[in-house]
Chain A
Amino acid sequence: MTAALDSKRKAAEALLHTLPLPGREAGWARDARAAARTRLLDAGAPAKRDEYWKYTDPSSLTTPAAVVDGTGDQPEMERQFGEVHPLRARFVNGRFRPDLSDGIVQDGLTTVTLAAVLETDVTFARGLFGTLEAAGQEKVARPLAALNTACATEGLVLHATGPVARPVHLRHDQIGAGASLIRHLVRVEQGAALLLLESGVPTNAVIEIDVAEGGTFQHVRIQEGPRARAASHLFARLGAGAQFKTFTLTSDGDLTRNEVVMEFAGAGAVGHIAGAVLAKGDSHVDNTVFVTHGAEGCESRQVFKNVLTDNARGIFQGKIFVRPVAQKTDGYQISQAVLLNDGAQFSAKPELEIHADDVKCSHGSTTGQLDETALFYLRSRGVPFAEAEAMLVAAFAEAAFEELADPDLAAAMRGHVARWMAERGRAA
């Protein structure tokens, strides 16, 4: 074993030792945990020299101290999702708080805690917990996700068996310093539909989503707050004809690494992954996406918009991987950044790996400033600089919001951008 691998393994061991081992659980859950520990130790903790972490230094996410004492206050704002009125499940400092949550019983949806599921034998959960995470490590190691499978005990298991009327909002608050490990599982059955909202920034969050044939799932997430350090993973498996959308708005945060790993397992499914990043100060936001086309005739779309200022850094790593079987794949990817000053930076690494011959895949990436001619045009009509800049930033970000099916949610996201820009205008 080389010295580098050895040190990565040691770092992984240290991480495991920092976290308490889960208590009494069903045999299958213990097996899943053990397999995850092995995956973590074999891969080792992520290190700066890893190709997959080329643009994001993982050290602040992987020291045992970061795992114990990762993040400062992250109390959530009310009404982040505007006119959408979800049923809310609340987590405080990494613990589910039913006393602070709405009763989330609805027609077509059952919700239980992760702990309850791992103590019993729920068929669909067996095929899900750690399974999508493990599959998602086929081409690239994702040790922080394996760490989550090995150790996370908090989270919810959502099972949609029909159209679910009201969205569910998983809200995470961090009061004081601390770290949190959250794991959610979602299964959407044939013909079922669920809109899941998430807010807050757990230090290490994993969500596994299994959308059966013909199921519909949408996920909208808001990550805000200056003191957050977070690694999140979203693993999705889509059955034939499934419809899947995930959207993340990240505003600021010391360090955020979001990995979305989506696999098309059945033909004719559609999966859209989008995000908007607003970053100032020394914020660092990394969106890493891996889409696997493993079935015929599926459509994937990645749309990421980054608005960066001060010394902020935006990263996008996006891959479309097309297996030989996945003919008639339609894959698209765009990542764009607007830099509002000279200190901000954006790095993009688009990748296509195609093993089928009848596919349509394209990618693009742009980085630039706001159009000075447009800025002058607006100002020449009397629009003050800050407002003119905000109008152009809103226009720039709009393509990401077009990925949101719900107009109220799109309006809520526009509101976030407007507030963030207004704050910037006041600070200037």
Chain B
Amino acid sequence: MLEIKSLHVKLEEEDKAILKGVNLTVEAGSVHAIMGPNGSGKSTLSYVLSGRDGYRVTDGGATLDGEDLLAMEPEDRAAAGLFLAFQYPVEIPGVGNMTFLRTALNAQRKARGEPDASAPEFLKLVREKAKALKIDAEMLKRPINVGFSGGEKKRNEILQMAVLEPRMCILDETDSGLDIDAMKLVADGVNALRSEGRAFLVITHYQRLLDHIKPDVVHIMSDGRIVESGGPDLALKVEAQGYAHLQEPAA
């Protein structure tokens, strides 16, 4: 589903290479985890894939179902089925959560040539998903993420994911700032979305999230490359040994 080949990325502002040849294939139905020390390029990878400004791809590329992902505008990537759950969800005063989510859903449907969700249909969908994530209906009436706690923001990300039903979900340090109960709630939300046609790329610094979202494949990223890949056991190894041994240049 997601195919990343020899992806090299520099920061636009300064001539600094962040990703130095990332290769990764995520098949439909699978959950991949990327672990790695701070500054290894994990978040950059998520931003480049979702189309944030400020990065320059100097070599390689990424495709989603064979389509050149990096050539698309961010909104087109979303319509194509890509979703990034942000590490730091943005507060947007003045834009209501529900208005935003409905606009997003219908814009994606329109881009795919599907009919709009009617207001009652949309409300029913959101209520159902919000209930599962224990998100208060009152919270949804507020502007996007304004006055939300860290945990509420992360749950709101998962709610958006549940409503928009993307096929390729990237979770960028969704566990950061969450206590164990909130993390379990978020993990349950993610697990409920696991299906044959959907894939996940879970970026995390710690192994603990992976106790709740069981990955099929674990990758270790260091200095802009994937330096090791393996089964779920690899995460446990990292937890036990830390990343220190990776700090040596790998190639």
Contacts and interface: CB of A to CB of B under 8 A. Distances in A.
B160 interface: yes
Contacts of B143: 395
B114 to A, nearest CB: 12
Nearest to B54: A372
B75 A396 contact: no
Contacts, number: 78
Contact of A377 (B73, B89, B105, B107): B89
Contacts of B164: 381-382
A374 B104 contact: no
Interface stretch (B20-28, B33-41, B92-100): B92-100
Given A376-B53, A387-B107, A381 B100 contact: yes
Task: With a 10 A CB-CB cut-off, give which of A374, A376, A377, A398 has the most chain B CB atoms.
Answer: A377
Interface string A391-416: 11011101000000000000000000
Nearest to B109: A382
A380 B92 contact: no
Nearest to B79: A382
B78 A380 contact: yes
B108 A382 contact: yes
B100 A392 contact: no
Contacts of B74: 376, 379-380
A382 B92 contact: no
A341 to B, nearest CB: 16
A391 B164 CA distance: 19
A383 interface: yes
Chain A facing B: main interface SS: helix
B93 to A, nearest CB: 6
B176 to A, nearest CB: 17
Contacts of B111: 382
B103 A377 contact: no
B52 A376 contact: yes
A396 B73 CA distance: 24
A385 B73 contact: yes
B243 interface: no
A391 B93 contact: no
Contact of A392 (B79, B95, B105, B160): B95
Interface string A232-267: 000000000000000000000000000000000000
A378 B94 contact: no
Contacts of B107: 382-384, 387
Contact of B94 (A373, A377, A379, A396): A396
B86 A379 contact: no
B100 A395 contact: no
A395 B95 contact: yes
Given A376-B52, A376-B53, A377-B89, A383 B94 contact: no
B90 interface: yes
Nearest to B99: A391
A1 to B, nearest CB: 53
B47 to A, nearest CB: 9
Interface in A93-145: none
A374 B92 contact: yes
Nearest to A379: B74
A403 to B, nearest CB: 15
A383 B105 CA distance: 8
Contacts of A372: 53
Task: With a 10 A CB-CB cut-off, give which of B50, B86, B95 has the most chain A CB atoms.
Answer: B95
Interface residues of A, number: 22
Interface in A350-390: 371-374, 376-385, 387-388
B92 A387 contact: no
B186 interface: no
Nearest to B143: A395
Contact of B78 (A382, A387, A395): A382
Given A383-B75, A384-B75, A385-B73, A378 B104 contact: yes
B50 A380 contact: yes
A247 to B, nearest CB: 18
A381 B94 contact: no
B64 interface: no
B93 A379 contact: no
B94 A394 contact: yes
Given A372-B53, A387-B107, A379 B75 contact: yes
Contacts of A380: 50-52, 74-75, 77-78, 83-84, 86
A378 B50 contact: no
Interface string A44-62: 0000000000000000000
A375 B104 CA distance: 13
B81 to A, nearest CB: 10
Contacts of B52: 376, 380
Contacts of A379: 51, 73-75, 78
Task: With a 10 A CB-CB cut-off, give which of A371, A373, A376, A396 has the most chain B CB atoms.
Answer: A376
A387 B103 contact: yes
B73 A383 contact: no
A368 to B, nearest CB: 14
B44 to A, nearest CB: 14
Contact of A395 (B53, B73, B75, B93): B93
A380 B84 CA distance: 7
B103 A383 contact: yes
Given A382-B104, A382-B111, A391-B95, A377 B90 contact: yes
Contacts of A377: 86, 89-90, 92, 144
6 contacts: A371-B92, A380-B78, A383-B107, A384-B107, A391-B103, A394-B95
Interface of B: 50-53, 73-75, 77-79, 83-84, 86, 89-90, 92-95, 99-101, 103-105, 107-108, 111, 143-144, 160, 164
Interface of A: 371-374, 376-385, 387-388, 391-392, 394-396, 398
10 tightest CB-CB pairs across the interface, nearest first?
A395-B94, A382-B78, A382-B108, A381-B104, A379-B74, A377-B90, A379-B75, A382-B104, A374-B92, A382-B107
